[in-house]
Amino acid sequence: MRSVKGRKIVLIGGAGFIGHHLALALAEEGGEVSVIDSLQVNNLLTFSSADHEGVGRELYLSMLNRRLELLREARVPLHIQDARDYHLLSRQLDEIKPQVVVHLAAVAHAGKSNKDPYSTFDHSLRTLENALDYARGGNVEQFIYFSSSMVYGDFPGSTVTEESPCEPLGIYGALKFSGEKLVIAYQQVFGLPYTIVRPSALYGPRCVSRRVVQVFIESALRGEDIVIEGDGSDKLDFTYIDDVVGGLLRVMTHDKAVNQIFNLTYGQARSISELAELVKEYFADIKVVYVPKDRLVPDRGTLDVEKARRLLGYEPQYSLETGLKDYIDWYQLVQKRQYERAGATG
């Protein structure tokens, strides 16, 4: 077992939802962590754009600025660089000389990926190939690739393990699975040590990706209906951000993580209807409405985390009840601060 203290770790796409949480945790543990991010994909430049007028734009801008403030406060260097540029990315990595590379750059929404496959390929696979090509030089001790539960496609049963067949649906899942194969190929050809992680239905503070938990809470806060796609029986393995960050820290410190794939989730699927009912416990007057399900959304369930538990000592702490309470408390605090600022400037 190793320590992250003093290790040089670079997070490509590290100003995103997962990345900034991971960067803060690594800095707290004494890691020499750096972030490379263009701030373009689902980030500050997107929401600052004059043609982006979506629900919660000002709220999301405040979240994104808070991410950057937290990184500054933790003294985590942020290198604003487009990872699609091979030469500039290689030059930046060569200056940092990381021992660990974590690749998080991607279009983080399946629906957006299906609508714009070229951009998804560009930001997901092109950035990955550039990072891998640098890492194969011999100085990188571990390359960590952030995949997705979407690689499984329709679950063949209620639970999948890392050995279950992968039959992804749509562009997002296909590119994530392609990324996994590319990472494994670099180990086969160049001996690059890797770890692949597969999360599921992540949620937590400062997320702007419009994942289902976030959407339900924001709708409830605005007094709007909660909209469920399908009949509500679909299940997801909802995972709080602190659990996946804790798992990633273990991936970086355990030798048994090398050249392995891990499900990093809570390890217990819950139905969308259950999620809606839990949200209604905090917002009693909210109504639930149902709309047709997107045909490219796979039927999912529980991701077995026994392998991570056995090899890494991974023990997720946040049930949906626990994580949802913390998330709603955080949202209500953010909302209160917005009202206070509006009152001070009004």
Find the CATH number of the domain harbouring 106: 3.40.50.720
Task: Please answer whether residues 69 and 46 qualify as being in contact, where contact means their C-beta atoms are separated by less than 8 angstroms.
Answer: no
User: Is 127 within the bounds of a domain?
Assistant: yes
CB contact burial 127-155 (16+ within 10 A = b; e otherwise): bbebbbebbbeeebbbbbbbbbbbbbbeb
User: Is 345 within the bounds of a domain?
Assistant: no
Joined together, the tokens standing for residue 266 give 């809570």
Joined together, the tokens standing for residue 78 give 């942020």
User: Is 285 within the bounds of a domain?
Assistant: no
pLDDT number for residue 309: 98
Q: Burial, 165: exposed, middle or buried (Cβ in 10 Å; 0-12, 13-18, 19+)?
A: exposed
Per residue in 86-130, pLDDT (tens digit) is 999 999 999 999 999 999 987 665 566 666 666 777 788 999 999
What's the number of domains the chain is made of? 1
Between CA 267 and CA 245 the distance in angstroms is 15
User: Is 208 within the bounds of a domain?
Assistant: no
Give the Cα-Cα-Cα angle 87, 68, 266 (nearest 5 degrees): 95
**Any alpha helices (H) in 110-260, and if so which ranges?**
110-115, 117-121, 127-135, 170-190, 212-221, 241-253
Between CA 37 and CA 14 the distance in angstroms is 6
User: Is 289 within the bounds of a domain?
Assistant: no
Helical pair 212-221 and 272-280, crossing angle rounded to 10 deg: 30
User: Is 142 within the bounds of a domain?
Assistant: yes
Between CA 19 and CA 64 the distance in angstroms is 12
Say which residues have a Cβ less than 8 Å from residue 162's Cβ, sequence separation at least 6.
198, 261, 262, 263, 304, 307
Domain that holds residue 141: 8-201+239-267+297-319
Between CA 78 and CA 67 the distance in angstroms is 11
User: Is 210 within the bounds of a domain?
Assistant: no
pLDDT number for residue 108: 63
Between CA 46 and CA 282 the distance in angstroms is 32
Which portions of the chain are predicted below pLDDT 50?
50
User: Is 207 within the bounds of a domain?
Assistant: no
Q: Burial, 97: exposed, middle or buried (Cβ in 10 Å; 0-12, 13-18, 19+)?
A: exposed
Q: Specify the DSSP element, H or E, that contains 60.
A: helix 57-73
Joined together, the tokens standing for residue 210 give 């419009």
Phi, psi (deg, nearest 5) at residue 280: -65, -20
